[in-house]
Amino acid sequence: MDHYQPPLADISFALKHVVGYPDIAALPGFEHADLGTVVELLEQCGDFMSVAVAPTNRQGDIQGSQLQPDGTVVTPNGFKEVYRQYVEAGWGSVPLPEEYGGGGFPRTVGVVIQELMTSANMAFSLCPLLTQGAIEALVHYGDDALKKRYLPKMVTGEWTGTMNLTEPQAGSDVGALTTRAVKNEDGSYAITGQKIFITYGDHDMAEQIVHLVLARTPGAPEGTRGISCFIVPKFLVNDDGSLGRRNTVETLSLEHKMGIHASPTCVLSYEDATGYLVGEENRGMRIMFVMMNSARLGVGVQGLAVAERAYQQSLAYAQDRRQGLATGATNPSSAIIDFPDVRRMLMTQHAHIAALRYLMLLDATYVDRSTNDPDPAVRARADEIAGILTPICKSFGTDLGNELTSLALQIHGGMGFIEETGAAQHLRDIRIAAIYEGTNGIQAADLVGRKLGVRGGASMLEFLADMREIEFELTNAGAEFATIRKELSRQFDALEEATRWMLATGQADPDGVLSGSTPYLRMWGLCAGAWMLARAALAAPATGDAALADSQLVLARFHAEQLLPQCASLLGAATAGSRDLFALDADQLAGAARRVRS
């Protein structure tokens, strides 16, 4: 139940042969992060995550974080000690800027570290994830004084960070927030308001918590145009860098959640708390998107990582659990892995997990190209592709996280529904990932509302055309690739048809496009995942490992023949428009339900 085996061979193959990591390591600034160095580093990281972090997962779920009478939050047994080891080992600093004490490794390497840590313990991993988002916002928009004061200890992990966006009345409508920021005579601001759903808003694992808080200054424009971003530390920082008095930030309560019990989700109250402006007034949304875009890929990785942990457990259970007789069996009972439907569930998990890993790493490589490639045109195009992939990775990744952990539970049968087996925890933990950091519906709206329209649709159509080049490679690869090529071609046609419909419909009927945005995003996820699996199958023979080449071919073929066909079936939903979604008002919907019951 607490055992986790880092899939390092799969990750190494992905980096070297599928997503082209050696090309990333050759970019300026990444010369020290060659593939050999990275593989060795990841082996050490995987060992730490499996030995130190993974055993805390079950205990953290049972015990949870607790709000004490004095208003402080205590994390589950072992968390504080393991986090100290994590900081001392420097795992959080690996992909962060060298200027502030980080390792300066590519984001791609950071994504792998995050997968390993999240598989080990998702609730634990949320603290470093939020800290990284806060760091990136400060790197991009903080002035030199703020960077010097806060970044070095945030990069090491000695200080952690949060993102304070949501308020009770606002939800995902950030523009409706009412937290106010009034400028003080010394240039700081007095922050007053309440924030909800603040992950690791208070805890005992670090001495300092640096809150990034969205608030509105007096006279600011209404809506999102009037939002500013502020650093509000738990403790004020003295001129010599030491911690001073406690700021007026109070934890009112912890949410009682379905999962990730060990991660304290706080309701925070600010009463004239001292804050410091990040960037310029009324530019908070721009800063927020730096934090959110970083976190959205990270949340997609959570879907992959928890699905991997659940898959490992369900595979082990399927090998050990004996029940009934499989076809041709001679023993008194068969392991359930010998039954076709259990094999179907295991293969579905395995294929989707491999596809997700390739997609997450591909997105990360484009992020690295967008920041470090010396050619401005390459940087610009990489930024466009990362913009397309990020909502797909976040939404499709977390949807599959829910679906695959549910399959893992199903393999356990009735025992999966019993908490002691641990299978249910994975399903409970990952359920939030489709909701936070922008719901998956918001990701789909972003895909069709912002990314689809880039350069009049040319950006996305060019990416689709690039994907379709694999059809020629598959044609020349041999008969064993024929069904993969045939199915990919058919599904690319459906995706292109949906894309052109979206482009033709968008300006005249935005609600129609939004109505089909979720199935359209899933079409992209299915096609992109199949494309990456096909790339892996084509690349695997070059390794000289016949078993690896065979397994990659089987995964790509299984996905193409049994999972990818869902894409074309979504074409109707993606292009149906909004007519029937709005045909019944609330009273009619209620009436229809009553007639069904009667």
Query: Looking at the annotation, which residues are catalytic?
Result: 437
Strand extents, DSSP E, 86-172? 159-164
The phi and psi torsions of 303 (rounded to 5 degrees) equal -60, -45
Cβ atoms < 10 Å from Cβ of 81:
12
Tokens of 269: 């109250």
What is d(CA 158, CA 73) in angstroms, rounded to the nearest whole number? 17
What is d(CA 439, CA 408) in angstroms, rounded to the nearest whole number? 24
Tokens of 7: 């899939």
Facing residues of 213 across strands? 164, 230
Three-class SS of residue 196?
Answer: strand
DSSP states along 412-446: TGGGGGSGGGSHHHHHHHHGGGGTSSS-HHHHHHH
Task: Describe the crossing of helices 423-430 and 284-320 by its angle, rounded to 10 degrees.
Answer: 160
Q: Any idea which residue has 């809150």 for tokens? A: 211
Tokens of 180: 């106010």
The phi and psi torsions of 335 (rounded to 5 degrees) equal -65, 140
**Helix/strand/coil (H/E/C) assignment for every residue in 481-515:** HHHHHHHHHHHHHHHHHHHHHHHHHCCCCHHHHHH
Q: Provide the sign of the torsion angle of the four alpha carbons 100, 106, 111, 114, taken in this order.
A: negative
CA atoms within 13 A on the CB side of 282: 8
What is d(CA 121, CA 415) in angstroms, rounded to the nearest whole number? 22
Tokens of 572: 């109707």
Facing residues of 162 across strands? 211
What is d(CA 166, CA 292) in angstroms, rounded to the nearest whole number? 13
Contacts by 349-352, CB closer than 8 A, 24 or more apart: 349/307, 349/310, 349/311, 349/314, 349/404, 349/407, 349/408, 350/311, 350/555, 351/533, 351/555, 351/558, 351/559, 351/563, 352/307, 352/400, 352/403, 352/404, 352/529, 352/559, 352/563
Max Cα-Cα span within the chain: 85
Q: Any idea which residue has 């990136």 for tokens? A: 136
Three-class SS of residue 564?
Answer: coil
